[in-house]
């Protein structure tokens, strides 16, 4: 079982997903991609950003979010959203957590946010800010979770 699971719900920008693939390959996190994607997985921009790390990353694709839920029974999902209830540093991460991120332009759906409201997290930002880049947000939260878990299997 992967220490962490990163879920991207309908990602749209190939370089962001490429950078996240690279992050997952280097941290051992499993990547779950929820369709529709805004690109093909063989997209040149995706491959350039991921520098072909996709062969080292555990990646699974799903037709929709419900398909992910049907195939996995995780103990906990954390909805990562600008509307999150808790700061990402205020959560005690556990092995196997699923970190769920929305698309770059729409974020997470209201349905996913509300179903996970008690377990929604955010990265603090200035009040007038909209959001951080998706790949940066995933990196910030993944590394905080790994820090708390004392970087299992990482040197």
Q: Where are the domains of the chain?
A: 4-148
State the Cα–Cα distance between residues 98 and 12, nearest whole angstrom: 20
State the Cα–Cα distance between residues 98 and 32, nearest whole angstrom: 9
CA within 13 Å, CB half, 123:
18
Q: Which pLDDT score is estimated for 43?
A: 57
Q: Which pLDDT score is estimated for 46?
A: 59
Local structure of 125: helix, strand or coil: coil
Q: Which pLDDT score is estimated for 48?
A: 62
Please give the CATH topology (third level) of the domain spanning 4-148. Alpha/beta knot (3.40.1280)
Q: Which pLDDT score is estimated for 91?
A: 95
Q: Which pLDDT score is estimated for 26?
A: 93
State the Cα–Cα distance between residues 120 and 99, nearest whole angstrom: 10
Q: How far is CA 18 from CA 27, 44, 69, 86, in A?
A: 14, 10, 24, 28
To the question of pTM greater than 0.95 for the whole model, the response is: no
On whether the CB atoms of residues 18 and 47 are closer than 8 A, the answer is: yes
Q: Which pLDDT score is estimated for 97?
A: 94
User: How far is C-alpha 121 from the chain's CA centre?
Assistant: 12
State the Cα–Cα distance between residues 100 and 81, nearest whole angstrom: 9
pLDDT digit of tens for each residue in the chain (155 aa)? 578 999 999 999 988 998 999 999 999 999 999 999 988 877 566 566 555 676 788 999 999 999 999 999 878 889 999 989 999 999 999 999 999 999 999 999 888 888 765 589 999 999 999 889 999 999 999 999 999 999 988 87
Beta bridge partners of 7: 32, 100
């Amino acid at each position: 079982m992967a220490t962490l699971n990163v879920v991207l719900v309908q990602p749209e920008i190939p370089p962001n997903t490429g950078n996240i693939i690279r992050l997952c390959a280097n941290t051992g996190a499993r990547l779950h991609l929820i369709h529709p994607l805004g690109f093909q997985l063989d997209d040149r921009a995706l491959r350039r950003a991921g520098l072909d790390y996709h062969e080292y990353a555990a990646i699974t694709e799903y037709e929709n979010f419900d398909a992910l839920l049907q195939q996995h029974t995780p103990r906990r999902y954390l909805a990562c959203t600008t509307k999150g209830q808790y700061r990402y540093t205020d959560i005690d991460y556990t092995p196997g957590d699923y970190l769920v991120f929305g698309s770059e332009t729409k974020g997470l759906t209201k349905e996913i946010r509300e179903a996970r409201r008690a377990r929604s997290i955010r990265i603090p930002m200035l009040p007038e800010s909209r959001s951080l880049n998706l790949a940066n947000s995933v990196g910030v939260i993944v590394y905080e979770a790994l820090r708390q878990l004392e970087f299992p299997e990482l040197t």
